[in-house]
A and B are shown apart, each in its own frame.
Chain A
Amino acid sequence: MSAEFSSGPENTTLSELLDRDMPADAEAISAAVDVISETLARLEVPEQKLLEIALAVQEALANAVVHGCGNDHSKQVRCRMKTDADGHILIIVTDPGPGFSPERLNDPKKHENLHSDHGRGVYLIRQLMDEVHFEPSGNEIRMWKY
């Protein structure tokens, strides 16, 4: 489970693995997730860790498309992936939207929400990644996997 810090361990030198702008549509984000998975596989990231990162990125990009861009294909979402010397992975997803307050989200595991057909994305991200930080603007998420 992740904790939220005001800043991750980003004072170390980070190498950029990916910096990609994409239209706000489902097929573009799926393609980006596939590229990220391939990159992590080339880095020999263990499969379990790779899947957890890939799913967290899928969720973050989906939120950016749906909530940050209102499913407007003419808008762009940005996804960056970096690594440090210890092989820790940083993912940053940015959208042009007005932002949101993560603390206002419902708990999807509460009984009254279990049968809902939405509302699990941010919760999943927090479970899958080791550190999750939402920029105060609410339209950028930074998440670490150690």
Chain B
Amino acid sequence: MEINVRKRSQVQVVQLRGPLRMGAAVDDLRQTFEEALANGDSRIVLNLAEVNMIDSSGIGLLVRFLASTKKNGGSIKLIQPSKFAVQTLRLVGVLNLFEIFDSDDAAVDSFAA
């Protein structure tokens, strides 16, 4: 899985490409989140437009760091999850924990609202 990280308006914009599943993908995203939090960045938007699968390890990671970022006054917001990713999140009951947006701009701007 590829991870691209940039900063916009004090928000970490994380773009993923590939399946988010147990192994290097989840490990690398975990490291990305940990580094962000270590740097005091708890506002994160995660673009999932090119993520065709999220397994339970990926879901666990998202849920865990959603809690961590919220504890620090931020959040993790999702952008354009695929139909199947939405289905998976809904199946395990966590879809409603997340705010979901259609674009990076909308997600980033929501932190200023």
Contacts and interface: CB of A to CB of B under 8 A. Distances in A.
Contacts of A121: 55-56
Interface in A38-91: 48, 51, 54-55, 58-59, 62, 65
A2 interface: no
Given A62-B55, A117-B60, A55 B88 contact: yes
Q: From DSSP, what is the main secondary structure of chain B's interface residues? A: helix
A27 B27 CA distance: 12
A108 interface: yes
A70 to B, nearest CB: 15
Interface residues of A, number: 28
Interface of A: 25-27, 29-30, 33, 48, 51, 54-55, 58-59, 62, 65, 108-109, 114-121, 123-124, 127-128
Contact of B53 (A26, A48, A58): A58
A120 B56 contact: yes
A30 B94 CA distance: 24
Nearest to B23: A26
Interface residues of B, number: 23
Interface string B2-28: 000000000000000001011110000
B97 interface: yes
A58 B23 CA distance: 11
Contact of A115 (B22, B24, B67): B67
A115 B67 CA distance: 8
A108 B84 contact: no
Nearest to B96: A114
A125 B24 CA distance: 22
